[in-house]
Structure 1
Amino acid sequence: MEEIYSSPDTQGPSSFSGSKVQRKKHVSASSISSQNDLEKDMTEEDQRRMKTASDYHTKHESALVWRDVTVTISGKRKYSDKVVKGCTGYAVPGTLTVIMGPAKSGKSTLLRALAGILPNTAKVYGEVLVNGRKSEFKYGNYGYIGRKDELIDTLTVREMLYHASLLQLPGFISRAEKAAMVEDAILAMSLQEYSDSRIGSNFHSKGLSNGEIRRISIARELITNPQFIFIDEPLYHLDCVSSLLMMVMLKKLASTGRTVIFTMYHSSTEVFGLFDNICLLANGKMLFFGETLSCLQHFANAGFPCPVMQSPSDHFLRAINTDFDKIISMCKNWQDEHREFSTVKMDTAAAIQTIETTYKASADALAVESMLVKLTEKAGPMIKSKGHANVFECILILTWRSCLNMARDFRYFWLRLMLYMLLMISMGTVFTNIGHTLFSVKARVVAVFFFIAFTSLLSIGGFPSHIKEIKVYSHEKAARHTGLIPFLLGNLLSSIPFLFLISSLCSVVIYFLLGLRSDFSLFMYFVLNFFVCLLINEGMLMILASFSPNVFKGMLTMVFLQIIMMLVAGYFRLRDELPRAVWKYPLSYLVFHTYAIEGLLENEYVGVSFAVGQIGSISGEKALRDSYDISSSRNAKWINLLILVIIALGYRLILFLSLYMGEKCRSWPYRSYRENKCFVN
């Protein structure tokens, strides 16, 4: 017990505190006195910061115990809401504990229950003890790596981890120390060879493999020096070589005193030999917990000995996976004519019952109970929360990281800029030399309408990048690395320079090719109008990305919405001629196309008159009467621009509410016990 719950001052020389104890033997009495005087002069805040900073270098060994854990999730299973049923076990420092079982056996649910990150719809019954105490995991003391790796493809490995360190670590830790922690994480996961390589592929590089990307995700969680590491399917989509390398890395992590728990469906014989403890599940029931070699003996005692030429994990899954019953029934005729298809001579349900009954009466179950008593008879040190970047720092970090991503991702803005420029040149050449007479008014109305409509449609090209942004944010928010407001502000601030660049370059081309009025103030209004329209489209894309992570469905939805907006924008039919229900009220007053087109036409024609005959004239707004409704006021265009700004802010507010309510209502895959309010003792 004392070895497991050793205090920092009694640990080996590799720890921060232990090395300090060794140095004290060689310090003179006068130096000790001066050090005490210095500590007295330090403020309480400085002492707290030094203690907090030392927590990131000190190795605290912690154990995890769970007893009779049952998890119910409404609607998760057709036959029962109980996904996990009465599981008991433990995980101690320096060991690899694997939760193994067939598909839909409750592996990931049990792992999330232990980590305290179940969805809102889940309820947990039983005990989960950390160092013998009933407490939740604190920030920075555990790392959870999901099945999917959400990384930014345009960054290098070192850049990805360094920006993660800026978010995860408090501001009073120097950047040099953060960079050193990043290098430690790179070294721990053997990523030195790829540290300056881009994560994703581009025109001249292929990008990293699945195994390397998986190791980056684990390295990201190692930055805060967590005591517990939870991994859902660490070998997901990995080949046999990458799988073995991954397990060697995890074994090395466990040897540093960390507690590593992970799920796995299947493993090779070499990988299986690296496990220390195994928790075997089937249909949510625990069939065995103990050492991996003892599991082989347990199956032999239950009447299912493992054949010599078969992998242990294959044998376990064959005995407890109900899907094999279907395969055997399909191949029954083939079995009769040839050899036996399987060495298991029993129905799977009966085999599960036999294995479970044998375990409950075995010495292995008694050994687990004895170990649980030993681990919980004396409470160990309570784990404390570690600090992270404040809101202002998060905004700056996310803004800069998004700028890097947008500048390097060809699809994000540069592809759209090329398409916009081609569209501007095409439209400009089609509508060039239309003159400035009364007969040119209708042609310019057509040009302005299609300018707003087509540029809005082309904004759909950035939708895949917005989906990636939302996914990365979801992971970081779930891990409590950042918050909703820093993400939204960072995304907005980083997009402004790129959108303004697009609006400026495109406006230079289209404005003069259309022969619009040569006045700098009028040109700048044209640029601002187009810029706000781009902001509105970005907001719409982000809202769709928050609702639908599917690229195809999201792009179809965006096209449909843009077409509806075009229909009620006042071009095909004037607003007063639209059917009053739905189309005029409220749609025509909600779409931004109406205000953008009105503003551009008012910018061009208010205050302008056209000669009619030799002595008559007609104002610009009257010349537009049959083509578009605009106001004769010189301030009307600024009112329309203000409405556009309000719409842009309104879409950002809708995005905020969408993500915020999604955190509260949807089954997000990351929650703490306290946030769930569903942990029942």
Structure 2
Amino acid sequence: MMLCFTKFPLSYFRQNDRRRSSCGELPTSSKGSDDPSSGGTTPYSGSYPSSLVGSMDRVTYTWTNMNVYCAQQEQREGFFGWNRRRYFGERKHILKNVNGAAYPGELLALMGSSGAGKTTLLNTLTFRSGKQLDVTGMRAINGEPATAETITALSAYVQQDDLFIGTLTVREHLIFQALVRMDRWIPYEARMKRVEEVISELALTKCQNTLIGIPGRIKGISGGEMKRLSFASEVLTDPPLLLCDEPTSGLDSFMAQNVVQVLKNMALKGKTVICTIHQPSSEVFAMFDKVLLMAEGRVAYLGTSHEACDFFSQLGAPCPSNYNPADFFIQLLAVVPSREETCRQTVDLICDTFENSEAGQKFAQPPLITTKTTFEEEIDIARSPYKAKWSAQFRAVLWRSWLSVKKEPILIKVRMLQTFMVAMLIGIMFFGQELTEDGVMNINGALFLFLTNMTFQNVFAVINVFCSELPIFMREHSNGMYRADVYFLCKTLAEIPIFIAIPVLFTVVTYFMIGLTPEPYKFFNTALIVTLVANVATSFGYLISSISSSVNMALSIGPPVVIPFLLFGGFFLNTGSVPPYFKWLSNLSWFKYGNEALLINQWSDVDYIECEQNTTCPKNGAVVLQTLNFYVDDFYFDILALLGLIVSFRIFAVREVHPSASTSLCLNPTAPPAKTKLEKGAEMSSLRGYGKWAPDVEGVTLTWHDLSVYVPAEKEGGLFRKQSKPHKRLLNSVSGAVKPGTLVALMGSSGAGKSTLMNALAHRNPVGVVVDGDIRVNGRPIGPYMNNLCGYVPQEDLFVRDLTVKEHLTFMAWMRLDRRTSRFERRRHVLDLLSILGLSERADTRIGATGHEKVLSGGEKKRLAFASELLTDPPLLFCDEPTTGLDSFSAQKIVQMMGSMAAQGKTIVCTIHQPSSEMFSLFHELILLVDGRIAFMGTPNNAVTFFESLNYRCPENYNPADFFIHTLSVTPGDEERSRVAVKAICDQYTVSEHARAVDLLVHYERHLAESCEIPSDHHRAPRTKL
């Protein structure tokens, strides 16, 4: 079976290729690719034919008078929403008369501060607005009104959230995407060639055979590599219209520039590209053909990047020389906390000026479309968004589903072990039953336990697993990759071996221990019935998951719905005593059909049952069945009824899952990091706010020496076939030290080891990762107590979506602040943080969740995540990409806040991508990582000098952060030379005076701690408690 699943694509697509050859070649444009006016040739037309040959290769997308409204959110007062009130006033106006156009051959960037409306506009253009939003206005493709089906067929959408099947490798994921998303006429070899091109273009060669990973379970690729993979999935098909939501978030400046360069190259070939972006560097900003600046839901400017400076200069706000225009525009249009009214007046003035300008008036009217529109020629594509045929979708999804199943052998083994243990328990409880009066009751009870165990075991197993995959399915299905029925059918076939093996194992263990009828065909009948009931429960689990909005809701709905079916199963209530108005419920109960079939199979051929004297008991099996109102002739009907329920529940599950639903209905319930607690001597002062230490606390010096992190050698290959896999070293003998009052930036290209190093220092390593080396705080080993001393801001934002911002911080204050902190001080801390982070106006707004009513923007959620850790004022703070998803203004405010905390004696370590020049200058220390080694550690100024000594001179008016990342990055197409140069830099640092200074500090701290006696309570307090 496995061989069939892994080899089908080649033979299948070769067969398709032969059919394609018999039909002749697809028509192509006569113009060459170098002709900018060409409408028929794609950037990769030499590799494979486009499915959209002709006019639809060039798309002009226009939108006029776009308005988006949202009902006023629920307002709640009191802790945990007690005394909550609900207000429904005027609708909130999110987008206000937004006009614009994106033309073929242009790269359009949507920019603005957090909450300006960029993502809302992009979702509106892709017809992905939530159900709670009302959208008005006109969207048109080449002058014709656009529909959701048209946009899906002609476009690709790179979303901000990265959703993947974590058990696949990067290459396997891209192969699957190529099989289901490329046009059905493209031969298999051309698809694989395109996969190789994308892997090389986006620098995924190094990790192409690495598992994508599952947070907290499977160590996979880095956050930057995952973002590049998300982008690679969409550019595979070379669509005529590409829309990207923050495609560079989580990438270093070098890879961000490479990604935007790919977008630019696609635009140069005649594609229409629209993207939102935060914090672009000067080079990236210069690549954009047009920029659309948004503020407070309005358009502040739409035009070329060069003319933008002239427009703002005419308003009396010229961009300073040697200043990144993108940062300047965002800061100018941002609403600064404590100056909201003034900022809004400025924003209104700029927006009104542009709206009344000649350019603004032009976009307010639908432009004259010069591209010929031939929607009739593309009617098949517009009506069917699926590029692959049903059979091709089936084979590709089946291949991926099988890979996903076989690559989680531990999960399969755990379920097998669970089944075996429960079966042994039931077998021991009912061991050796005889055909007596008591034996009849015990056997009937044991058989009913067969049904209940299979039901609950499979229903909840499906809910937990399927809800983690449902967001991925919803996104891919909405993107027109495959049909819903294909997904459910393939998932069923891939999981059939598991859902057959588990019931059979259960039956084998219990059947003979209990002493059921020994005839072989009776045993096989029992195994068949138990297997059917298990699969009915599985189908019912799919249905419950499909109609639920979250894992918690599915787990809450499941038991109350199952219980009525259980009661009408014929064990608790005789089937002949079911009230007429509940007959329909009894007829839907798989417990009834399974129980009846099992008992018929057990008792139909029993001619004698031993009874005690002077007692009334059934004399034979027929009497037992007659007492229960079960009839032998219904045996085959029961089997058919179970089969019918399997199919029916899955059909209803397919009907419940539709493209308009959320793309993230069930979020993977990843456990949040452990809550931090400050040591007794590191309390927050109850009289002051942030940055004030208790007088008996000193700063924290963090050191690490000869630190290596690797994934040990293991066996892989599935459940039955194993092969050796060598260990992978993630960090290679790195040493470093961070002193109190220091703000340290961990930088490097994607996959360099930044997050790995910080997780090792914070003792938050994933399962299966081995850390070897010495980590100390103030010279003393810290171990797992690090969680009690540090705060940790993770890259992912995990919240309870039903709470408001203020309620969340209030809860965190009650759980994490010292018990002696008064109620007044807790409330004051919360209000201060809301003000500092610019969340005061959103204090009573629900946080929301991806795929539901999105009430907080990505930047606002990131600020809330930061506020959660700042509440406790920890002496040591780790931040994993704290500025990702923030505009340059908000990001700079975050870094300034971290600098202020460091000035009060805190030790702060953070990873960061794409810092602006101003932001980079705020860091006191810099650690540059590449391929798991340290390329430099010291002050930013010393870094410039160090690289100059190696003949790598940073140009004037160039961001040093971008220069370092570029210098230490592996250039696609020139990997070998780049790796040699990078290795030489790391070797030079190892023997430099900077490395020797770090080693001296590490050994000094260790020697000082070992040579001193235990200090008193007021001296070096953290050491005494570690």
Greater shift, 488-497 or 278-287, is seen at: 488-497
- Using the TM superposition, give the Cα deviation of residue 529 of structure 1 relative to its aligned residue in structure 2, in angstroms: 0.9
| Structure with greater helix share of residues | 1
> Does the 8 A contact of 2:70 with 2:94 survive in 1?
no
Amino acid in structure 2 at the alignment position of 1:543: L
Distance across 2 between alignment mates of 1:418 and 1:57: 55
Give the TM-score normalised by the residue count of structure 2.
0.53
Partner Cα distance (2:453, 2:509) in 1: 15
Q: What is the CA–CA distance in structure 2 between the aligned matches of 1:108 and 1:13, rounded to whole Å?
A: 33
Q: State the 1:414 CA deviation.
A: 4.5
Please list the CA deviations of residues 268-314 of structure 1 after superposition, one character each: whole Å capped at 9, or x if unmatched. Answer: 66654554422112233211112334434434443445578986555
The 8 Å contact of residues 154 and 199 in structure 1, kept in 2 or not, is answered as: yes
The residue number in structure 2 matching 1:489 is 489
1:527 aligned residue = 527
The Cα offsets for residues 28-82 of structure 1, whole Å up to 9 and x where unpaired, read as: xxxxxxxxxxxxxxxxxxxxx9999355899997353525342345648864475
The offset of 1:201, in angstroms, is 3.7
CA distance change for structure 1 residues 160 and 51 in 2, over 3 Å: closer, same or farther?
Answer: closer
Measured in 1, the distance between the counterparts of 2:373 and 2:599 equals 71
Instruction: Compute the displacement of 1:230 (Å).
Output: 0.2
> Is 2:117 aligned against 1:125?
no
SS of 1:612's partner is coil
The match for 1:111 among 122, 137, 145 is: 122
The alignment yields a C-alpha RMSD, in angstroms, of 4.1
- Asked if 2 retains the 8 angstrom alpha-carbon contact of 1:154 and 1:405, the reply is yes
Deviations 1:433-452 (A, max 9, x none): 23343322222222222222
- Matched residue, 1:557: 557
| Contact 2:71–2:90 under 8 Å retained in 1 | no
Q: Residue 544 of structure 2 aligns with which residue?
A: 544
Distance 1:504 1:108 in 2: 50
CA distance in 1: counterparts of 2:457 and 2:618, whole angstroms: 40
**2 CA distance for matches of 1:224 and 1:377?**
25
Residues 211 and 248 of structure 1, relative CA distance in 2, 3 Å threshold? farther
The whole-number CA distance in structure 2 between the counterparts of 1:572 and 1:617 is 19
Structure 1: which 5+ runs fail to align? 1-6, 21-48, 330-343, 670-681
Query: Which residue does the alignment assign to 2:112?
Result: 101
Question: Structure 1 570/310 Cα, relative in aligned 2: closer, same or farther at 3 Å?
Answer: farther
Which range moves more in the overlay, 638-647 or 568-577?
A: 568-577
Matching residue of 1:9: 30
Residue 606 of structure 1 corresponds to 604
Measured after TM superposition, the shift of residue 235 of structure 1 is: 3.8
Q: State how far apart, in whole Å, the 1-side matches of 2:487 and 2:411 are.
A: 17
1:643 and 2:648 equivalent? no
Q: Which amino acid aligns with 1:158?
A: R
CA contact (8 A) 2:29 2:53 kept: no
Change (3 A) 1:621 1:321: farther
Deviation at 1:215, TM superposition (A): 2.1
- Residue 68 of structure 1 aligns to a residue whose secondary structure is strand
Question: 1:240, 1:214 → 2: CA distance?
Answer: 13
Letter aligned with residue 328 of structure 1 = S
- Residue 415 of structure 1 is matched in structure 2 by 414
Return the alpha-carbon distance in structure 2 between the equivalents of residues 415 and 246 of structure 1.
Answer: 42
> 2:159 aligned with 1:146, yes or no?
yes
Amino acid of the residue matched to residue 388 of structure 2?
A
Q: Which residue identity does 1:53 align to in structure 2?
A: P
Q: Report which stretch shifted further, 279-288 or 300-309.
A: 300-309
Amino acid at match of 1:66: T
What is the TM-score with the length of structure 1 in the denominator? 0.77
Name 1:352's counterpart in structure 2.
347
Per-residue deviation at 1:610?
1.0
Q: 2:338 aligns with which of 328, 332, 349?
A: 328
Tell me which amino acid in the other structure corresponds to 1:169: M
Q: Percent identity?
A: 22
- 1:622–1:236 CA distance, 2 compared to 1 (3 A): farther
The answer for the alignment partner of 1:676 in structure 2 is none
Where do residues 8-407 of structure 1 align in structure 2 (5 Å cutoff)? 8-12=29-33, 53=49, 62=58, 64-66=60-62, 68-72=64-68, 75=71, 79-80=90-91, 83-115=94-126, 122-126=134-138, 128-130=140-142, 137=150, 141-201=154-214, 206-236=219-249, 243=256, 246-264=259-277, 266-267=279-280, 271-304=284-317, 312-313=325-326, 315-322=328-335, 324=336, 327-328=337-338, 347-360=342-355, 365=360, 376=368, 378-380=370-372, 385=378, 388-407=387-406
Aligned length: 604
1:408-557 alignment, distance < 5 Å:
408-410=407-409, 413-459=412-458, 460-557=460-557
Match of 2:736 in 1: none
Q: Secondary structure at the match of 2:293?
A: strand
Shift in alpha-carbon separation, 1:553–1:68, aligned structure 2, 3 A: closer
Compared with structure 1, are the counterparts of its residues 65 and 456 closer, same or farther at alpha carbon in structure 2 (3 Å cutoff)? closer
**Are 1:96 and 1:276, in contact at CA under 8 Å, matched by a contact in 2?**
yes
What CA distance in whole angstroms lies between the structure 2 residues aligned with 1:572 and 1:310?
Answer: 78
Tell me whether 307-316 or 523-532 shows the greater mean CA deviation.
307-316
Q: Secondary structure at the match of 2:156?
A: strand
Aligned AA for 1:71?
N
- Please give the per-residue CA displacement for 1:215-266, whole angstroms capped at 9, x wherever unaligned: 2222222222212210122245667676556445544544555332112355
Partner residue, 2:81: none
**Contact map agreement 1:189 1:215 (CA 8 A) in 2:** yes
* 1:619 Cα deviation after fit: 0.9
Counterpart residue type for residue 479 of structure 1: N
Contact kept in structure 2, 1:296 and 1:306, CA below 8 Å: yes
Report if aligned partners of 2:290, 2:302 keep a CA contact under 8 Å in 1: yes
182 and 381 in structure 1: CA distance in 2 versus 1, 3 angstrom threshold: farther
- Provide the C-alpha distance between the structure 2 equivalents of 1:14 and 1:530, rounded to a whole number of angstroms: 66
Query: What residue in structure 2 maps to residue 655 of structure 1?
Result: 653
Give the alignment of 1:662-681 within 5 angstroms: 662-663=658-659
Matched, 1:571 2:567: no
Q: 1:202 to 1:469 in 2, by over 3 A?
A: closer
CA distance in 2 between partners of 1:623 and 1:283 (Å)? 75
CA–CA distance in structure 2, aligned partners of residues 79 and 264 of structure 1 = 31
The higher relative CO (CA closer than 8 Å, separation ≥ 6) is in 1
C-alpha displacement of 1:563: 3.8
User: Partners in 2 of 1:133 and 1:524 — Cα distance?
Assistant: 62
Change (3 A) 1:468 1:392: same
- Asked if the contact 2:124–2:135 (Cα under 8 Å) also holds between the matched residues in 1, the reply is no
Given the superposition, is the C-alpha separation of residues 13 and 663 from structure 1 closer, same or farther in structure 2, using an over 3 Å criterion? closer
1:477–1:412 Cα change, 3 Å:
farther
For 1:370 and 1:624, locate their aligned partners in 2 and report how far apart those are by CA, in whole Å.
Answer: 78
* CA–CA separation in structure 1 for the residues paired with 2:365 and 2:590: 66
